[in-house]
Structure 1
Amino acid sequence: MAAGSVSSDVAEPAAAAGRSWFVLAALTFVYILNFLDRQLIGILAKPIQDSLGVTDGELGLIGGLYFAMFYCFIAIPVGWFADRTNRVNVLALACAIWSGATTACGLAGSYSQLVVARMAVGFGEAGGVPPSYAIITDTYPPGRRAAALGIFNLGPAIGAAIGVAFGATIAARFDWRMPFIVIGIIGIVTALLVWLFIREPERGALDPVQTGDGAGKAAFWPTVRMFLTHPVLMLAALGSGATQFVTYGLGNFAVLFLMREKGMVLGDVAVWYALVLLLGMGGGMVLSGRVIDRMTRKSRTGYAMAPAISLAIAMPFNIAFVWAPSWPLALMLLAVVMVFNYFYLSASVALVQDEVKPNQRVLSGALLLLVMNFIGLGLGPTWVGQASDWFKAHGDPHGLQSALYTLTPFYLIAIALFLWLARLLRRETAISRMPA
């Protein structure tokens, strides 16, 4: 009898661990599709420009502001709804919507049709990441969350790498439309599988302290007010936004820049740029999760110091990447940039998820994405595209290169914001340790 009890006790944690890994793997795959869909415009920028007559400025708007207007603001009601209902169902429906819209991008016959389709992609993708953050947080306990979120945040690296390899290869063999259509169909099938096989976890069940106020339905406006007036949350969001201004501004134009200024062709892009994204960005995501977990066991300031230090390392390599006279050297420098550019993501997500009540996690994650993505995704590519057109109109034959140089001050802004956040976290920790 006792032996049976021991066997049962051992089997249950093993089964729970297996379910946790299955959930994490499934959500990461959805995130890969989410980011892959989003990156196809940047990856296929040159053939799209050649086909539809799109300027750099128009390309920046379609990959930035037009997309972000839906992606950022729709995330708020989606987050509120997901906090009050089944988050897995919300995620599955969102995946189906953005995947159908991605297919529509491949059928667009004009710039205006492509704009509408991209806005629809943004509408769907608004329901992708915030529910996933909350599901992972309620699947993994504190102390393992940042590492789990770091694995989840491999989605952008893998999605971008697959997008480059798949998109560039298929576009070179057929045309730029086929990758949108194929990826859209895969996403619709994935949405159905998520709906069928992922179970909704209990909210707050793995949190160390159960306060009794995190299981009910959180009110919308009080949660929004809490986030917008919470200095820690807002500094994390603003620091992440300044960082994303750089990462999205660079990412949406990197392939076009390498082809136009450095002499790469789609065949080179499909192999070497994809490899840099996978190893650089992917390595950074895995490394950041482990570093942040280790730093935050000693002090909560690790949530801020890790991204501040990593961005200080990345900045000179980013400048050198833009300057590099050949694409092989540029890619080597870009690999270093990719490793250190993305520490902010796991740090800010883990901090926000730990800072709020369990029933506020999806909406708070959506608010984090609203602030950082509107600044970074909405304005970063728009800035670079418009700056490129401006430099070109004023006689600069390397307008896109000059535009990418203008991203450098935003590194400094992001570092300053994260250092400010570290100071605030250090002060809060000191106050919490003071005797009552």
Structure 2
Amino acid sequence: MNNDTYIITGRVLHFIDEPDIAAENSYEYYKIGALVIEDGKIAYCGEAVEAIGRFPNYPIVDRHEKLIIPGMIDTHMHYPQTEITGAYGEQLLEWLETYTFPTERKFSDKAYESDVSERFISECLKNGTTTAMVFGTVHPESVDAFFEVSESYNMRNICGKVLMDRNAPDYLLDADLDTAKRQTEELIHRWHNKGRQLYAVTPRFTPTCTPEMMTIAKELMDTAPGLYLHSHLSENKGECAWVAELEPEAADYLDAYDRYGLVGPRSVFAHGIHLSEREYKRLAETGAAIAHSPTSNLFLGSGLWNKKACQDYGVRAGLASDVGAGTSFSQLQTLNEAYKIQQLQGQKLSAFQSFYFATLGSAKSIYLDDKIGNFEVGKEADFVIMDNAGTELMKYRQSHSHTLEEELFVLGTIGDDRSIAETYVMGVRVYDKERGAQRPAVELKAVV
């Protein structure tokens, strides 16, 4: 019997609907629960006694009273910016010039790219993130390096080479349109739908992409089914004003993408802070999504995302750390800042809404809820074992939590990587606190 066929027991929680829509029936929670894993997928989710009765010959991995949740999903990250996380003192456009562009210049070196990719993936797993949507750099090798490491852990990740041909240092611009298109086509052929890897066509943002480059991006989107479009939208007021100057014929910032056919299902735009009513409506009707990036929005002083407006208009939204302008790989800490942003606007973000946002909600925003996001039978078995006593403070505070909702709220405010005991990908343990990140093992003893 191999290491991805077994029963794992504990307190099992997952969401089946958005709490705002159907609060009473939005989640399933089994205090003495179990997941049955068969060949890396969910075969059963429910009461432990029933699981053991139905699958009597399967080995049991007992996690006692630890909470088991789906793997968390990060809908916008920059892996090349890992080394500048927490860099001081700039807003968006100055941040790019001062920190981002000089750092991304280093990514023409394959050994360097591979090292950063390994560190980045390890941090994701350490923080319970099992799927991420990730920017590479303009260098195609940066995407190869990322996918090679991602594939070695059997993660479901999305990445793409940055497209950029203006308003950036010459050393980071694509050599020409034909080269940018050819390199991207080669990456799509090499990686899209290879195992669990998925590709995103990635024009950095309107200020760094000419109309000709946007046209190339649309042509690339049409080369294979299921490709993503990954970019930025309305992060900073200065950026928005710049876009209006660069694209005077566009109705607004979103239209600067839309007029090239780049707004639709599987289009994911980070931030979306300063949006008009027309933009909200257009995002909703096209099925495009916003990647809410609370820690970077605060760190760069960009503004407060309006969750209520997105909900009212029906805009898809996912949760994002936006490392490295985002200040933590932890989606728990990202939820902490998301809660505060809602408080500042007189809005609420409940504990159940938060954990839905980090799991099934984010999966829906990137059209992967048929594969990940909860424990429905047949889905890929990406999950996390939580540690509510990761620090003395957490242990003490949780001893005074009297409901599941309170427990989750504490995890989403003072929790961080120390709240993650283990991370599993396709049913195989790839991280635990004692040994750190580990590539998938062969024997069952690796997970018990």
TM-score with structure 2 setting the length: 0.24
More helix by share: 1
**Which of the two has greater strand per residue?**
2
Which structure's relative contact order is higher, taking Cα pairs within 8 Å and 6+ residues apart?
A: 1
